[in-house]
Structure 1
């Protein structure tokens, strides 16, 4: 897509209505994403959910442009990855007992620096990674197909917002009124938090992830809780407390090993081939065209704006976070490297291990002599935000490339959503911290914050180094064999009641798919009605996404009410 084509259509793709809808959606999605990431230790991609929502709302206003819906959903979803980058790193500071050194000013500096670096990197690599590479970007492609195939109308809107309302009411009855118990069928097994967490949101996570991934999640939970904790302590190999340390270390190793496996197996080989191809392209006769491609097709004026973004991010890292100029240069440079890795990872697998990329840079900065634990976690936060945003941007660019949306319009939409999401994510983090206190974050706590716990443990010390090394090596090996080590590690690491609840959601997904296939097969010819099957799949995604959003949004509202009660009570 040449530069002329990028500019011409964007006027009809960024509208006042779309920006307003996108900003309202951004506030809601970002707030719920913070809550979901902290509560569940996971952050399902909101792209398809926001795509459907944007299309429903725009069509209600009489607008039918898929590109306008694409840009609107970009604004809505951009803040979620900023939220993920913060939620997966910063709570580690609270777990280390140093929450007084990470207030809203520092969190805002982390989020804003990461956002600016993420926006710059994606502007520079967009053309190479989306238009010229063979990367699939499965989530972006699925979102484009959903927008093209969907006949979103009143029924879709009712499903989406009805499921949100039902889940929100359930959450309010459970957490606010105390009418519904939060845990069902709990059993007193030493060292094992056995039970069913009464959470529609967690059931939705299991439904949306589904299939083999949740099976490995469940297998990890069985190995950790009934193999290592119950089995090992019963056999006298260790006591329950030691077993729990082994389990947490093994889970952390598996998750980090999975992230390293993505880098080693998926990213570096293709990045090397891409680099060799870029060098060969630039050495050819079409020097000017090659230079334009390598720079992502941006104009000299654009480069000036991007340079200002980089300078602003560097100033935030230096003066806002108190890091030295040498460390600042290293963070900025490595942020560009890891955002490219993130874009590659999302393009190949749809997975963005943003906190792992943050850990990589954290360890590099520690090697330069930085020993302050809080500052190291700030570094991880900046990189995680940048990488999360890069993955989101590139996936959204793939959607727009399929639909013919202007890249410039998409980038502007992403910038609006990301900057707004930065403010909202920090505000929600501060509200949750004020409402529940730093002691509510960590394994087995109200907010499990699994990824942040991994980062904090890497900074402060690992309970069982041997188990961590086994998990690290095993995670890399399993990923190279095509086994989802990240999900296995989550099962090992997370409390077992969360694993059971997610598994029940996956069972619901299995039953729903069987019923959908049976219904679609009832045609006059005895063949499967593909259109009907697709409609059933979309309906399931819509309802599950609405349920997830409903509970997480009400959870944030309850936290805000708690803060307000403390201020004015």
Structure 2
């Protein structure tokens, strides 16, 4: 009720009944995402949010601000679905560490309330510090904003705005994923390990090739570790992987602080091809 009342005051294109429909549908999607996240440790919250972009955007229509309504609905849907999966992951961690489920739930409620205050403050800080925030050539171009805006436009205008053969490729890869998963289930566990997972192959296309490189290096390290000492690798492998992931996140935090302070790197490193490097050397020597 609070969301249905307050959200339309912030985004006038998002009507109260759009928010009400989202809250009716979201629990089912939240359950699916929490279940899948528990199995794979990968939250598909943005994928469920895209459903809100397409449905609410098409429902509102271009004449009634469907683009902005779809984007606002996407954020509402993501907040609901992500909170459910995060809570279940916290319960999973609490179970492994023998923590109190009641304490975990109370902590989640406190964190959610803090996020309602801290997140707008952080956005306002960036908005005031960088006046060109979100522009293509700015320090923070926000590329995902352009991606999701185009998705919302697609939901309003229909599939006619897609590139040629885009839907055909979507159909082909969808059927291929179903067939490959069916083959994995049919051949048994011993042979299934030689058939690649469609979900694993799709992740690098979704979030970038760097993820595939990180997973490849990490898998190689775990493989060698298991050959040396399988018991220790099975016991401490998840903890080491978590530490590596957290270390990457800690540097992201430092980088954000340095960017806010306006710090500039003392030097810049760039990798070029052989031909391009020869041209640069020739230009510097001229």
* 8 Å Cα contact 2:56/2:70 also seen in 1: yes
Q: What does residue 334 of structure 1 align with? A: 25
* Aligned twin of 1:549: 249
Does 2:14 align with 1:320? no
In the alignment, structure 1 residue 360 sits paired with structure 2 residue 51: yes
Aligned partner of residue 165 in structure 2, secondary structure: helix
Give the corresponding residue for 1:421.
115
Alignment coverage as a number of residue pairs:
236
Select which of 228, 232, 241 maps to 1:519. 228
In 2 relative to 1, CA 560–484 (structure 1 residues): closer, same or farther, beyond 3 Å? farther
Q: Deviation at 1:470?
A: 1.7
1:40 aligns with: none
Query: Using a 3 Å threshold, how does the CA distance of structure 1 residues 409 and 550 change in structure 2: closer, same or farther?
Result: closer
| Structure 2 CA distance for aligned equivalents of residues 325 and 393 of structure 1 | 27
Matches within 5 A, 1:79-478: 311-322=1-12, 323-371=14-62, 372=65, 373-401=67-95, 405-432=99-126, 434-435=129-130, 437-440=133-136, 448-449=143-144, 452-461=145-154, 462-471=161-170, 474-475=173-174, 477-478=176-177
Counterpart of 1:8?
A: none
Instruction: Choose which of 250, 257, 262 in structure 2 pairs with 1:562.
Output: 262
Distance 1:345 1:418 in 2: 22
* RMSD between superposed Cα atoms in Å: 3.4
- Normalising by structure 1, we get a TM-score of 0.36
Please say if residues 342 and 352 of structure 1, whose CA atoms lie closer than 8 Å, have aligned partners that are also in contact. yes
Q: Out of 240, 246, 257, which is 1:540 matched to?
A: 240
Q: SS in structure 1 opposite 2:60?
A: coil
Mark the CA change 1:446 to 1:361 in structure 2 (over 3 Å): closer, same or farther: closer
CA contact (8 A) 1:355 1:384 kept: yes
Higher relative contact order (CA 8 A, sep 6+): 1
For structure 2, which runs of at least 5 residues remain unmatched after alignment? Answer: 155-160, 182-195, 264-286
Question: Which ranges of structure 1 fall in alignment gaps of 5 or more residues?
Answer: 1-310, 521-527, 564-569
- CA distance in structure 1 between the partners assigned to 2:179 and 2:125 by the alignment: 41
- 1:339 deviates by 1.8
Query: How much has 1:381 moved relative to structure 2?
Result: 0.8
Alpha-carbon displacement from aligned partner over 1:478-510 (angstroms, at most 9, x marks no partner): 15633655554454466xxx62x4444334324
Does the 8 Å CA contact 1:342/1:387 hold for their aligned counterparts? yes
In the alignment, the residues of structure 2 paired with residue 352 and residue 413 of structure 1 have an alpha-carbon distance, to the nearest angstrom, of 20
What TM-score comes out, normalization by structure 2 length?
Answer: 0.67
